[in-house]
Amino acid sequence: MEGPRGESVVEPGDAGKRLDVFMSSRTGLSRNRAQRLIASGAVLLDGEPARKNLVLAEGRKVSWEIPPVEPEEVTPQDIPLDVVYEDASVAVIDKPAGMVMYPGPGHPSDTMLNALLARYPEIEGVGGKGRPGIFHRLDRNTSGLVAVARTEEAYQSMVRMMKRREVERRYLALVSGDIPAEQGTIDAPMGRSDRSRKKMAVRQYGGREAVSRFRVRERFKQGYNLVEVTLETGRTHQIRVHFSYMGYPVAGDPEYFRGRGRRELGLDRQFLHAFHLAFPHPISGDEMTFNSELPEDLVDVLDRLRSGV
């Protein structure tokens, strides 16, 4: 299975940096892993294998492929799941805020993947090692609908549909600030942030295509807008980054909102919910549509805003 690929043109601000430092900032890898990646020949400079201590010049093109990390074995855990739909090929789960999708640093267990393996043991190995059956994801503190493939045939079909943009994903987000337009499109490429390798950022040079369409559903006098967002692409943190970049950060977002921060409006997570998911069935081709109601904590926020509290 291929790992993530990417490329980036060296901007003026990156000229003079060592290649391993540049790779760490672009990919989120540690310096040591970036060095190992370069040494393995997986990083190219203008199409040729590069050296880790190479000093970069403006305008040169760096490209890479990151091999997938072989994960430790994931233990099935009998954790309750809100299953919206299931058949022999696919399942749709309504994920609560706070649930991590799969094990990683800081959360080795109690994830959705642990729960999925207990309920659907046949997904082990589907799609290769690492994230069995999972072909799209939600952030830990984003709630809503996630589809999971239960067979290899269904997984490959869903991956193809994602690439062809045949999977419709809509979100509800409460954003800070009064958006002047009733609807619009944010077309701003994204990549790793130079300031923090754990965060994403809009990158006009070297970023990957990222497109979000939105329409304003409701405006509040306290300076918030409820927006419905449709993803054309699925970059990490895409909605949160796009609206922060436009000056309308998602309410309660602890990473991309520099204003009132995490506890605004009583929120202890970002106001972001994946409420609509639609796609052709990966085997039969039948159209499938699912919707999820806003969780109680987000409904409470809207009720307070409507009442003027």
Give the range with max mean pLDDT: 21-25, 32-36, 137-141: 137-141
Distances (CA, A) of 4 to 25, 94, 200, 243: 15, 27, 15, 25
Which of 7-16, 180-189, 268-277 is predicted with the least confidence, judged by mean pLDDT?
Answer: 7-16
Q: Reduced to 3 states, what is the DSSP secondary structure of residue 290?
A: strand
Mean of the pLDDT values across residues 226-237? 95
- Give the alpha-carbon dihedral of 173, 179, 182, 183, to 10 degrees: -60
Please give the positions annotated as active site: 139
pLDDT for 130: 66
203 near 169, Cβ under 8 Å? no
| 236 & 107 share domain | no
* Cβ contact 213:188 at 8 Å: no
Whether residue 207 lies inside any domain: the answer is yes
Three-class SS state of 115: helix
Bridge partners (DSSP) listed for residue 220? 224
Among 49, 65, 81, give the residue marking a domain's end: 65
Of 139, 164, 189, the domain-final residue? 164
* Amino acid residing at 220: F
Tens-digit pLDDT profile for residues 189-230? 998 887 776 788 998 877 889 999 999 999 999 999 999 999
pTM: 0.78
Q: Both ends of the chain: CA-CA distance in Å?
A: 52
CATH number at residue 40: 3.10.290.10
Helix (H), strand (E) at residue 119: helix 112-119
Q: What pLDDT, on the 0 to 100 scale, is given for residue 309?
A: 67
Q: Encode pLDDT of 143-161 as tens digits.
A: 999 999 999 999 999 999 9
Higher-confidence residue of 65 and 170: namely: 170
In CATH, what number is assigned to the domain containing residue 250? 3.30.2350.10
- Within this chain, do residues 56 and 77 fall inside the same structural domain, yes or no? no
Asked whether residue 126 is domain-assigned, the answer is: yes
The mean pLDDT value for 155-172 works out to 95
Q: Is residue 287 part of a domain?
A: no
160 shares its domain with 74? yes
Give the structural domain span for 242: 170-274+299-307
Backbone φ, ψ for residue 231 (5° rounding) = -85, 125
CA dihedral in degrees (139, 145, 148, 154; nearest 10)? -130
Total structural domains within the chain: 3
Q: Of 251 and 309, which is predicted with more confidence?
A: 251
Tell which of 140, 164, 188 closes a domain. Answer: 164
Q: Are residues 196 and 303 in the same domain?
A: yes
Name the band, by pLDDT with cuts 50, 70 and 90, for residue 68: low
Asked whether 290 and 277 are in contact (CB, 8 A), the reply is: yes
pLDDT computed for residue 20 by the predictor = 86
